[in-house]
Structure formats: structure tokens, C-alpha cells
Structure 1
Amino acid sequence: MKKKRPSLKDIAEVLQVSTTTVSFVLNGKGEEKKISKQLIARVENYLKEINYKPNLVARSLRTGSSRVLVFMVEDISNYFFSKIGRIIEDIAYNNDYRVLFCSTENNTKRTQDLIQLFQERQVDGFIIVPPTGIELEIQNLIENDTPVVLFDRKINTLDVDSVTLNNYEGATEITEHLIDQGYSKIAFITIDLDLIQMDDRRKGYLSAMEENDLKPNILEIPYNTANAEKCNAAITQFLFDNPHIDSIFFATNYLAQNGLRAISRHNDKLIKFLGIACFDDNIFFEMYSPSITTFAQPIEQMGAQLMEIMLGHLGDKENTKTKKAHILNGKLIKRESSLRRESIKP
């Protein structure tokens, strides 16, 4: 038979103190309520002795705070999002918060369901990588005074905090770097998805190509096939259809990983002649031969910025009325794959 969780009243009776005293100590308010250090220590030691775990749902109802945050992203298994998630988790833990992680797969309905679920669980705040079509849900969170920070992309129609990258400038810098290295037939492989950051990367590529009187060449891959064999097949077909290209700019790191496999399957010598660059870094790109040029996002700075905004709002709910779009600068990491290569393909 499962042992019954002791109540605050049970604990108070054993220690011969009031339930209010136990409650104050349990919620870290002992000193604030002028409880002696000796009594605080006696209560805390007994709680440890019986391995007491508070009922978080009951505490959230009583205090209005669950001490839980949600990090809702496109795919938590993605290297970029998982690295950001770890930084957020550490900062949250050091501030007595816990983090729940979930993936939306850029699916509007799934995101709406997750937001509703976590609202019902009374989480304290949301950090969201928003797919299209969830403006109403975000607005409802704001109107309910629930802190929200958008990440990786923003919603221009809403007054909400956001932390994003200089995507347009980054794409322009990558393209101009390839041009400076002597490449002129630069293909851009991206996701066929209506998201602001992908649109900015496309615009940056097109702007640099136009500025240098070069003809753009774009392959758009449906998102639902971006991590599948169909992605490799689409890139392989693109290589067959465009034998003249001398370089490829991948809009995301997972597209680059699939693309490198496709290039090797198509012609294992081609990687030595094509210029390659992509958005988002990955430890895999350093070890690849040739090492891959990337536009790296400032992961540490992003995680810290997200939590600075969130903790600021949690500490001062009035502060939620002041919103700001934070645009951070990435860094072009030049590696072997984008350096000037042989002029004749195999």
C-alpha cells in the first residue's frame, strides 16, 4: 500500500509548531517572517529526514506561482535548440525555476494544444519559437499577464518580447563571402515555409546576388521532408539538374547535413570542388572534411538574453507592459569548405 504523503498539519504536530510556520519555511519565507534561524533549521532538517516533497499543484494554487517555465521549440532534438535549452535550464534552476521542453514541429494545431495544456497547468512563463497562426494564443497569454518571450522569430503584428538573429545580414555576409572567394554560380537551398527568419535569409541571399549581377538559383524543400530521405533525393535531383553550380548556401544546419550526404552519394569527389556554407553551426561541421563554413548564432548570449527578459517579467509583472525586439549578431566562421577551390569539377 502506498504511503500517504504527510500534510503540513502532520509535520507541524511532530515539530510542535504551527502549520503557518512550516508553510513559511517550506516556501523560503522563514527569515522574512522573523522565524528564528534555529527553528528554520529544525523544520528544514525534519523535511529532509522524511524526504518531504511539496505538492506543486497545491502550492501553485496557494501562491499563484508554479516555478515552472515552458521552452516550446520547433524540434528540441535539433542541435541549436537543445544547446539553447540547456543554457535556459541552468539559469532557471539557479533561480529556483524548472523548465519543461516540447517540440511543435511547426504545427499550428499542436502548438495551440500545448499552450492550452500548459496554461491549465499554471506555468509561470513561456519561451516560444512560434509557427504561423498562433497570434491569438500569444495575445491571450499577454492579456492574462503571463510572461511570453518569442525566440528565433517574431510576430510583427504583436507587441511581444522577442530574441532573434540578424538573419538578413547573415545571409548577405555568407553570400558575399562565397563571391569574394571566386564563386559565381551560387545555389541557395532552403525550406518552403512561411517564416520570417527563413524569408530574411532568402532576401539576404537575393540581395547579395543582385548587387553582384549574379543569377540566383533556389531550391525550396517542403518542411515535412526536410529531415527525411526525400530531402536527400530532392538535393540529389537538384545536383543532376544544375551541373553548372559551383557552390551551395544551405539555409539551416540540418539541410546542410542532409545536403552533404546527398553530395557524397551523387559524386564523392564533388565536395572537393563545391563551395559550401550554411546557417547555424554544429560540432559536426568542424570535424567534417573539408570543415564547413557557417554563420554561427550567439548561443550563450541568446540563452542569457531570453532568461534575463523572462526573469525580469517574473520579478515585476508590471514590466510585462514594456516589450522589446532584441536582434543579436551572429558570426561568420570561415572554414575550408568555402575557400577558393579547383576551377574544374571531376
Structure 2
Amino acid sequence: MKKKRVSIKDIADALSISVTSVSFILNGKAEEKHISKELTKKVLDYAAAINYRPNQIAQSLRTGKSKILVFMVEDISNSFFANLARSIEDIAYEKGYKVIFCSNENDDDKSNDLIEVFNFRQVDGFIIVPSAGIKETVRQLIDDNIPVVLLDRYFEDLESNVVVIDNEEASYTATKHLIDNKYKNITFITTDTEQTQMLDRLAGYKRAVNEAGLAPEVVFVPFTQAGTEAGKKLITDFVKNAAKPDAVFFATNYLALLGLEVFKNESPQLIDDLGIVTFDDNDLFRIFSPTITAVAQPMWQIGTELMEVMLQLLKKKDVKEDTQKIVLKAELKVRESSTEKRRLK
């Protein structure tokens, strides 16, 4: 038989005091309500002795707060998002919040379904890596005065709270690093998308090669094919048909892993011959041979900024008041794969 949950009324009856007094004490309002320290201690000691746990559903109905946040990303198994999730979880927990993690797979229908479900469950706020077509859904959340912080990408014409890195500058710096190390035929491999972060990375690459008087060469891989045989074929075709590239810059870590797999299977010498840089670091890149140069995003700083903005929003009466766009700097982790041109053709 399921054990009956102990209620505030049970505590009040056991101690022969009012339910109201017990509620004030358990919700940290004893001093505010001028309840004696002796009675406060008596209630807290008894609650601890019986292992009292508040009914979260009843509490959320009473206060209008669930103390739950949603962190929706593209793919929670991606090391970038997984590491970021951990920092957010730690900070949220310290502040009394729990976090629900979910993946939208960059799919608008799934994004909208998940947001609808969690909004119906009355979560307190959303941190979202948005898929391209959910601008109106995000706008509706904001119009409904629900705290929302966008991460990694945003909508140009939607006033919202955003935490991103300077993708264009980071991509420019990484490309310039290859150019400074004598690479002249640099191919940029990216996803075929209109998302702001990917467009900015492409823009940074193009700015660097144009400044150097070099010709840009871009391979676009549809997002839905990034982990498939079709995606591998696009990179295989590049390996077989490209006009003698001497370096590649992958726009994401999952494209880098895909590309390195293709190089190994199709033409293993390319791993040693090409200069290689990737956006977004991964533990594997530090132990790969050669070690892979990567643009590293400041995980803990991103998580801290996200939660700081969210915690501010949770206190506001109007979430549209004083929206923030926080732009952080990434760091280029220089490793063996991009050292001065290793094999002149």
C-alpha cells in the first residue's frame, strides 16, 4: 500500500497549532509574520524528523511558480550542449530550481510541441536554442510574460534576451590563423542553414579570405544529413573533386568528426597533409593525432550569463523590460593540425 503523503495539516494537528502558522514557517516567513523562534524551531524540527516533503504541485498552484526551468537545445548528446547543460544545472540547483533538458533536433514541429507541453505544465522559464521557424512561438511566450532566454542563435527582428558568442570574429580569427600559417586554399565546410550563428561563422571566414586576396570555397551540408551517409558523401565528393585544398575549416564539431571519419576512410594522408580547424572544441580533439585546433566557447561563462539573465527575468513583472543581448568572446585553441603548412604541394 502506498504511504500517505504528510501534509501541512498533519503537522499542524500533531503540534496543535494552526495550518497558517505551519505554512508561514515552512515557507520561510516566520520572522516576517512575527512567529516566535521557539515555535519556528519546533515546527522545523518536527518536519525534519518526519522527513516532510512539500507537495510541489499544490505549492505551484498556490504560488504560481513551479521552480522548474526548461533547457531546450538542438541535440543534448552533443558535447557542447551537454557540458553547458551541466553548468546550468549546477547554478539552477543552487538557486532552488530544477531543469528539464530536451532536444528539438532543429525541427520546428518538435520545438513547438515541446514548448506547448512544458508551457501547459507551467514551467517558470525557457532557455532555448531555437530552430529556424519558431520565432512566432517564442514571441508568444514573451507576449505572455514568460521568461525566455535564447542561446547560440536568435531572430534578428524579435526583441528578446539573448546570450551568444561573437561567431563572426571567432571564425575570422581561426581563418586568419590558417592564412598566417601559409595556407592559401582554405575550404569552409558548414551546414546549409539561415541560422544567425552559422551565417556569422561563414561571414567571418569570407572576410578573412577576402582580406588576404584568396578565393573562398564553401561546402554546404544540409543539417538533416550531417550524421548520415548522404552527409558523408558530400564530404567524400569534396575530397575527391576539390581543387587541391590545403586546409579545411569545419563550422561545427559534429561536422569535424564526420569529416575526419571520411578523411580516414577515403584518403588517410589528408589528416596529415591538410591544415584543420574546427568550431567548437571536443575532448577528442585534444587526443586525436594530430591534435585538432578548435574554437572553444567559454562554457562556464555562457552558463553563468544565461542563468543570471534568467534569474533577473524571473523577478520582473514585465519580461519585455530592458532586454539584453550578451555577446561573449571565444578562444582559439591552437594545436598540431594547423601549424605552419606541414606539407607543401
Query: What's the TM-score once normalised by structure 2's chain length?
Result: 0.95
Question: Structure 1 CA distance, aligned partners of 2:111 and 2:34?
Answer: 45
* 1:124 and 2:154 are equivalent in the alignment: no
Instruction: Give the equivalent residue in structure 2 for 1:270.
Output: 270
Distance 2:255 2:36 in 1: 60
Task: Flag structure 2 segments of 5+ consecutive residues without an equivalent.
Answer: none
In 1, are the aligned partners of 2:147 and 2:319 still within 8 Å (CA)? no
Deviations 1:252-303 (A, max 9, x none): 0111111111111112222111000011111111111111111111111111
* Partners of 1:236 and 1:80 in 2: CA distance: 26
- Separation in 1, partners of 2:13, 2:320: 42
Instruction: Name the SS for the 1:237 alignment partner.
Output: helix
3-state SS, counterpart of residue 268 of structure 2: coil
Local SS of the residue matching 1:187: strand
Tell me the residue number matched to 1:301. Answer: 301
Q: Aligned with 1:281: secondary structure?
A: coil
What do residues 179-198 of structure 1 show as CA deviations (whole Å, max 9, x unaligned)?
11111111110011221110
Q: Which residue in 1 is equivalent to 2:215?
A: 215
Offset of 1:138 from its aligned partner? Answer: 1.4
Do the aligned residues in 1 keep the contact of 2:7 with 2:54 (CA within 8 Å)?
no
Who is 1:310 aligned against?
310
In structure 2, give the amino acid aligned to 1:249: F
Task: Report the CA distance between 1:48 and its aligned residue.
Answer: 2.9
Give the superposition deviation at 1:237: 2.1
Show the counterpart of 2:181: 181
Partner of 1:143: 143
Q: Which residue of 2 aligns with 1:285?
A: 285
Quick check: 1:312–1:319 contact (8 Å CA) kept in 2?
Answer: no
CA distance in 2, matches of 1:267, 1:344: 17
Paired with 1:95 and 1:342, the residues of 2 have a C-alpha distance of 50
CA contact (8 A) 2:125 2:147 kept: yes
Q: Distance in 2 between matches of 1:334 and 1:105?
A: 30
CA-based RMSD: 1.6
Summarize the Cα distance change of 1:31–1:228 in structure 2 as closer, same or farther, 3 Å threshold: farther
**Matched position secondary structure for 2:83:** helix
Q: CA deviation at 1:206?
A: 1.4
Query: Retained in 1: the 8 A contact 2:295–2:333?
Result: yes
The amino acid that maps onto 1:338 is: S
Kindly state the Cα deviation for residue 216 of structure 1 after the two structures are TM-superposed.
1.4
Equivalences for 1:1-346 in 2 at 5 Å? 1-242=1-242, 244-318=244-318, 320-344=320-344
Tell me the number of residue pairs that the alignment of Structure 1 and Structure 2 aligns. Answer: 345
| Distance (Å, rounded) in 1 between the aligned partners of 2:24 and 2:46 | 15
What letter is aligned with 1:169? E
Instruction: Give the residue type in structure 1 aligned to 2:303.
Output: G
Letter in 1 for 2:336: E
Q: State, as a whole percentage, how many aligned pairs show the same letter.
A: 48
Distance of aligned partners of 1:320 and 1:26 in 2 relative to their CA distance in 1, 3 Å threshold: farther
Q: What is the Cα deviation at residue 332 of structure 1?
A: 1.2
Question: What 5-or-longer segments of structure 1 have no aligned partner?
Answer: none
Counterparts of 2:37 and 2:254, CA distance in 1:
54
- Measured in 2, the distance between the counterparts of 1:341 and 1:167 equals 25
Quick check: 1:293–1:332 contact (8 Å CA) kept in 2? Answer: yes
CA distance in 2, matches of 1:324, 1:286: 34
CA distance in structure 1 between the partners assigned to 2:68 and 2:6 by the alignment: 24
Cα distance per residue 1:15-49 (max 9 Å; x no partner): 21211122223323233322233333332233233
